[in-house]
Each structure stands twice: as structure tokens, then as C-alpha cells.
Amino acid sequence: ALYFILLARECSGFGRSTSHARSNALGDCSSRMQTSTRGGTRTHRIRSNSSYQPNQSQLYSSAVAVDVVKLKYTEYSKPSDASSSSAITKPPVLIVHGLLGQSRNFASLAQSLAAQLQFKRRIIAVDLRNHGESGHADSMSYTAQAQDLLKVMDREGMEEAVLVGHSMGGKVVKAAALLHPDRVAGLVVMDISPVRYETHEAHWGSVKETIESIVGVDLDSCGGGKRDVDMALRSSIADPALRAFILTNLNECRDTGELSWKINIESIASELDGIAGFEICNPDGSSIEETEGGLVYTGDVLFIKGGASKFVQNSHLETIQSYFPNYLLTSIRSAGHWLHAEAPEDTTAMLKRYLDR
């Protein structure tokens, strides 16, 4: 509940607080790491080969015909960066939100991270397709969404970037890294595995129920504005904080009072089965499951798991390693799925140490 309250404040322009990194929050990714967090310590394997240079024959770039959507994004940087761009020598960071989220959910984290980094970087948070202020499209495939991210990089003149993604956004950045490893300088994945989630699993079943509840709201009958929408959701979503979070995706025209969703809820609902999975396409259009040896990203990858979340499980580790052999999985035991809101200081500290390593 606290997470949804925080996000509702972020989307209203409130809750802009700073946090301070703890120097021992994350060890150097070039060796075996021991991670200390507020709620406890849990560290899994990492294999590092920082001198690795991918052979051009191993690089994948999607030739699949996809409709690229122009994404809205916001850049966060320290004030001195604007007048000293030459001082920024490290690859930029792209932060990608999850399902029903938007870039503003990461405003506080991005601002805090920009202020704390030892090595200056551009930090950009994006709205994914069908979310926030970005354009709408029928497809929510991870291949298409990875292409959207690359278009942002192209538009901003970025040869490569470090990608940070939460939940569905974590799957998007993983797809981008697997399909375009030459464009990805590093990868941080927040509480999501490269696996298919099923509706019988409580954590994914609740996601499906939330989407169905939103689809079931008749905005035309909600003459009382957001209050009526909240009442319509109440019968299926008991948590008021969750409803408040959902309502951050609702537009209300000041002149007419007409209501509309920022999110393309119809496409999201119709594509939910694909969102639950992790299917991306090779240049010939075949699934990665059909590729001999599969796709692999050999750069350093940091997985951050919420200790109270079920989205990353021990049974997923073999699959994670098959795609990302040089990975570290660490957890913040006191946090759930929305660890960047529930444990912002620990999350920011981990990102800082990964980026400054």
C-alpha cells in the first residue's frame, strides 16, 4: 500500500525526496560480491569477464518488421552537467518502468542517483508504448518495445547505454540486451525473471485481475469524474492505495470533464498473455526458443529482487544464467515487488555502486 501511495504522489509532483547511498550496499561487480542491505544479505553468483569484446558474428539486431512508437522521456542530471557535457564520459542510463507505470514513478530515484554518482552520466526515464505520454500501438511484444528503446538512443545520439528496468520494463531491457548486445553497456533488472508467469500464480493472477477490473469500468457512466471511477473499481479492488495508483493513469478534461485513460488499456489487456511470457524474435522472425544455443548477453547483469516478492524464484536461476551468464542476483529482504519505492535508499545505493564500479 505504501508503494502505491508514493507513486500517486510522484505522479502528482509530490514526494520528491533525496536519498543517500551506503558505501557498502553493493560490492564491485568485477568479483564475487557481498551485498549489505537494510533488511539483510543474500548474494548469488556472478561470473565476470570485463575484457570481453563480442564478435560481430555473435551480434543480433532485429530485422523483424515492427512498428516503432515514439516514446516520451525525461532527462535527469545534476545542474552542472548542462554546462559541462564534455565531463560526461560514461554511457548514459535509461530507466524503464513496469506495467501501468510511467517515467515519473522514477523521478525521485533518478534525481537522487544523478546527484550521487561519482562518474557523471545522462539519466533518462522513458514512458513505454501505451503508457504515460508515449504513443499507442496494438502490439506490446518485447521485440517491438526493445526497438522503441533503441530509437530513443538513436534520437539522443547514444551509441550504447546502461539499461535499468523494473517488472515488465525489466523484460523490455532484457530483450534489448539479447537482441542488441552491442548497444547495451550494462543491465540492471529489478524483480522480474525472463520466464512466463501463469495466472494460477498469485502474484501474476492479481495483475490479470487488476487489468480486467480497469477494462470493466465504463468511463461514460462516471459522470462524477475520478471519484466515480474509484467507486467503480472498489468492488473488485479493495486496496484504496492501489486504486489511487490506477487513477494516476486517468485523464480528466478540465473543460468538459470527459474521462479517458492515458494507458492504452485495450491493447494492454489483449496483449497480457504475451506480457506474461518472454518471447522475442530473432532477425529471421523465429523465437529465441527455436535458436540453436539461444541468445546470450555476456555483459555484467545485476538482478535486484524484493525479498518479499515471488517474481524471482530459485527455480528461475537456471533460465537466468542461460541468457545472462555473467549475472549477480541480490535481494532487499524487507522489500516487495516495488522495491524502488519501498526501499529507495538501498535501491539507489545498489545502482550507484553498479554504475560507479
User: Considering only 16-25, 249-258, 276-285, 330-339, which range has the smallest mean pLDDT?
Assistant: 16-25
**Element at 306 (helix H, strand E):** strand 301-306
Query: What pLDDT does residue 257 have?
Result: 84
For the segment 171-175, the average pLDDT, to the nearest whole number, is 98
Give SS3 for 125: strand
Q: Give the chain's end-to-end CA distance (angstroms, integer).
A: 34
* The model's pTM: 0.81
Query: What pLDDT does residue 52 have?
Result: 30
* 119 in Cβ contact with 90 (< 8 Å): yes
Whole-number Å distance between alpha carbons of 162 and 293: 25
Query: What pLDDT does residue 108 have?
Result: 95
Residue 356 one-letter amino acid: D
Whole-number Å distance between alpha carbons of 93 and 275: 24
Give SS3 for 6: helix
Tell me the pLDDT tens digit for each residue of 34-78.
Answer: 333 344 433 343 333 333 333 332 223 334 456 899 999 999 975
Q: What is the CA radius of gyration of the chain?
A: 20
Tell me the backbone φ, ψ of residue 95, rounded to 5 degrees.
-105, 130
* pLDDT class of 309 with cuts at 50, 70, 90: very high
Closest CA to 207 of 159, 281, 272, 156: 272
User: Considering only 77-81, 281-285, 300-304, which range has the smallest mean pLDDT?
Assistant: 77-81
Judge whether residue 14 has pLDDT over 70: no
Whole-number Å distance between alpha carbons of 344 and 337: 12
Q: Which domains does the chain have, with CATH numbers?
A: 73-195+278-356 (3.40.50.1820), 202-268 (no CATH)
Query: What pLDDT does residue 25 have?
Result: 35
> Side-chain half-sphere of 178: how many Cα atoms within 13 Å?
30
Bridge partners (DSSP) listed for residue 261:
250
User: Considering only 14-18, 37-41, 106-110, 175-179, which range has the smallest mean pLDDT?
Assistant: 14-18
* pLDDT class of 293 with cuts at 50, 70, 90: low
Tell me the pLDDT tens digit for each residue of 221-246.
Answer: 998 889 999 999 999 999 898 899 89
